[in-house]
Amino acid sequence: MFPTLLIVDDEQPILHSLEGLLSDEGFNVLTAPNGYECLKTIDAEHPDLVLLDIWMPGLDGIETLREIKKSHPDIPVIMISGHGTIDTAVTATKYGAFSFIEKPISIDKVIVAINNALNFRKLEEENRFLRTRMIAKNAIDGSSPPILALKQQIIAAAPTEAPILITGENGTGKELAARTIHQFSTHSESPLITVNCAAIPEALFESELLGHEKGAFEGAKAKHIGRFELADGGTLFFNEIGDMNLANQGKLLQVIEEKRFCRLGGSRVIDVNVRIIAATNKDLRKEIEEGRFREDLYFRLNGVPLDMPPLRNRLEDLPLLVERFTQAWCKTTESEPKAFGQDAMEALADHSWPGNVRELKNLVERLLITVNKETISLTDLPTPYRASEPKEAAGGLSDLADISDFKQAKEAFEREYIKRRLAECGNDTAAAAKSLGVSKGHITRILKP
């Protein structure tokens, strides 16, 4: 399909020569002799682009442009003028004109301008499509009362500049909530940069966050742009803020308050405009009482508190989440559609989900990979998820009483207990270690064959 252009000019000879030349180039061409006709034709034909003369009797080009942008902001408009001045060009651009060409018109210039505008529009459309797809992909699924309340809070808080503190257990979707807030905020055109606070050692904190100049310290071989600068205009997400040490908390508070800093080894003051979101699975009030978290930083971050509900408090969302994860997995892997049977769903609803939605997602994907059946049933579930089955059939811990040696029985119990927790955490050793309060090495050692 060839693009449709609308040419608007009160000078008939220009209108007709442009119409002929652009038709020869393969465009569908519509014409209008004045601003009023232009607006009528746009409503009726919805052209892909408008070439609009500035100086016309009646409704002039600038007024017509303003009307077009009110009702059809997505149609690119190229302004044409015989008396082009910088002022009119600036005014036209201010009201949303894509570009500006002067009479006498060179057909080559017009074609370049048209192609630029159409390509730009195509890119904008692709961008909009990708954004919609990304929002859909990152959507917070669920329609239980706690999730509906959470979505309301996100919609209300996202467009404001208030810092947001997201709390909740592991795997409840804190990072997902941060992404959603960013997408619905006024910062969404700029990047969302994540800082994993637990992973940055104290010595590197300033250089990671503020950046450094070449030679700022031993080993600084090149200039490094910090996360605050990378996130300028966008959102800076501090994940696991409760794990940040006190010294770093002080430095962070200073930058958040001043909104300006110098790179390490640099003297230029850099101003930044970033939206701050922080998340933690810790109880920060308790951390403050016990002297591990600065109260002033807590108040600075806690503009709008968001508490992610654990999955066990919204089990009515389970069928929807299972369906979404199943569909997404089958689509990504281009595999045959699969489903979970009623008995499996009932068993899943009996589980306590200590690893929350992440545990559920991991379990669903693991079963889709390992179970080669159209319908996944109760017997396909790993032991910890079969609570509704008679305990003897579940095996594992029930056999321990038969071990006569106490030490061996203790070891077998520990092994079995850890195995269960690991399965509950979707085989994520780090998450299991954290929830049991042991090291990852301990888990690996105990489970070593």
Closest to ligand ATP by CB, 109 vs 131, is 131
Kindly state whether residue 212 participates in binding ligand ATP, applying the rule CB under 6 A. no
Task: Give the burial class of 291: count Cβ atoms within 10 A of its Cβ; 0-12 exposed, 13-18 middle, 19 or more buried.
Answer: exposed
Phi, psi of 160 (to 5 degrees): -85, 175
Closest contact distance (angstroms) between CB of 311 and ligand ATP is: 8
Residue 180 makes contact with ligand ATP by CB under 6 A: no
Rounded CA-CA distance 318/348 in Å is: 8
Least separation in angstroms between residue 271's CB and ligand ATP is: 30
Q: Give the residue closest to ligand ATP by C-beta.
A: 173
Minimal distance, residue 282 CB to ligand ATP, in Å: 10
Contact 179, 192 (CB under 8 A): yes
Residue 365 in contact with ligand ATP, rule: CB under 6 A:
no
Contact 110, 1 (CB under 8 A): no
Identify the sign of the CA torsion 169, 175, 176, 182. positive
CA pair distance 406, 75, nearest whole angstrom: 79
Q: Which is nearer to ligand ATP, 47 or 142 (CB)?
A: 142
Pairwise CA distance, residues 84 & 76, whole Å: 19
Counting DSSP H helices and E strands in the chain, the numbers are: 19, 16
Sole binder of ligand ATP in the list 175, 229, 243, 316 (CB under 6 A) = 175
Tokens of 251: 């430095």
- Residue whose C-alpha is closest to residue 197's, from 251, 150, 266: 251
Counting contacts by CB under 6 A, is residue 163 touching ligand ATP?
Answer: no
CA distance linking residue 394 with residue 264, whole number of Å: 59
Gyration radius from the chain CA atoms: 31
Q: Tell me how far, at minimum, the Cβ of 183 lies from ligand ATP, in Å.
A: 14
The smaller minimum CB distance to ligand ATP, of residues 176 and 387, is found at 176
Can residue 176 be called a binding residue for ligand ATP (CB under 6 A)? yes
Given 227, 263, 351, 361, the residue binding ligand ATP (CB under 6 A): 361
> What mask of x and - would describe binding to ligand ATP in positions 275 to 314, judged by CB under 6 A?
------x---------------------------------
| CA 418 – CA 87 distance, rounded (Å) | 74
**Cβ–Cβ under 8 Å, residues 57 and 34:** yes
How many residues make contact with ligand ATP (CB under 6 A)? 15
Q: From the list 167, 172, 180, 194, which residue makes contact with ligand ATP (rule: CB under 6 A)?
A: 172
Considering the complex, what minimum distance in angstroms separates the CB of residue 439 from ligand ATP?
18
* Residue 37 sits in the site that holds ligand ATP (CB under 6 A): no
> Please, are residues 336 and 344 in contact by the beta-carbon 8 Å criterion?
no
Name residues contacting ligand ATP, limited to 130-159 (CB under 6 A).
140-142
Nearer to ligand ATP, 243 or 389 (CB): 243
Q: Is 340 exposed, middle or buried (0-12, 13-18, 19+ CB in 10 A)?
A: buried
Place of tokens 């992909």: 137
CB atoms within 10 A of CB 254: 11
Amino acid 263 reads: R
The single residue among 171, 211, 226, 242 that binds ligand ATP, judged by CB under 6 A, is 171
With respect to ligand ATP, which residue has the nearer C-beta, 169 or 208?
Answer: 169
Q: In this complex, which beta carbon is closest to ligand ATP, that of residue 277 or of residue 297?
A: 277
Selected binder of ligand ATP within 173, 226, 309, 354 (CB under 6 A): 173
- Residue written as tokens 């390509």? 119
Whichever of 97 and 321 has its CB closer to ligand ATP, that residue is 321
Q: How far is the CB of 349 from ligand ATP (least distance, A)?
A: 16
CB 440, min distance to ligand ATP, A: 15
Residue 65 or 165 with smaller CB distance to ligand ATP: 165
Distance CA 242, CA 283 (A): 8
Decide if 53 contacts 70 (C-beta within 8 A). no
CB of 174 to ligand ATP, least distance (A): 3
Which of 31, 81, 167, 170 is close enough to bind ligand ATP by CB under 6 A? 170
Residues contributing to the site for ligand ATP (CB under 6 A): 140-142, 168, 170-176, 281, 357-358, 361
